[in-house]
Copies of this chain bind each other. A is one copy, B any other.
Amino acid sequence: MHSGTVASRSADPKDSRESKNGGRPPLDAVSLAIIEQLQEDGRRPYAAIGKAVGLSEAAVRQRVQKLLDQGVMQIVAVTDPLTVGFRRQAMVGIHVEGDVEAVADALTAMDECEYVVMTAGSFDLMVEIVCEDDDHLLEVINGRIRAVPGVRSTESFVYLKLKKQTYMWGTR
């Protein structure tokens, strides 16, 4: 029902330059503040957020709902995978020949790829892999990733220890 609002926006000719990253105006200052609140505590009640950002409870509720619908943010539990039983993680740098985006899409479709980003530098693509054990990791990297058409070569960086993991941009 809320998505109807978004759809009507897309129909607006002025929004034709809308791309996948979301061609919407960078983001309102108040919404930023709301996101900050939820980055500190994803379960913080709407009333408390409203008090913090200077909005009514209902307004906060509407904004949060829209932000979620639009995919601008998501409220989720995050963990250190090592703690949750995934014993092998790695960052993999990839050299691509041909269409980088196509390769990225193929990797995105893999469950074990938790993070996929196109980069400038000596790698065209960097992906983070989450696996249960060494065999699994080997199978994913040497079996599946290298099998993707366009992947010229890969370089792996197995995780030894996760030192920091935050989601607090804007909170500074």
Contacts and interface: CB of A to CB of B under 8 A. Distances in A.
A162 B105 CA distance: 11
Interface residues of A, number: 65
B73 A165 contact: no
Central interface residue in A107, A123, A167, by most chain B CB within 10 Å:
A167
Contact of A35 (B27, B79, B120, B156): B79
A156 B166 CA distance: 20
A32 interface: yes
Interface in A76-129: 76-86, 90-91, 93, 104-105, 107-108, 111, 113-123, 126
Nearest to A111: B172
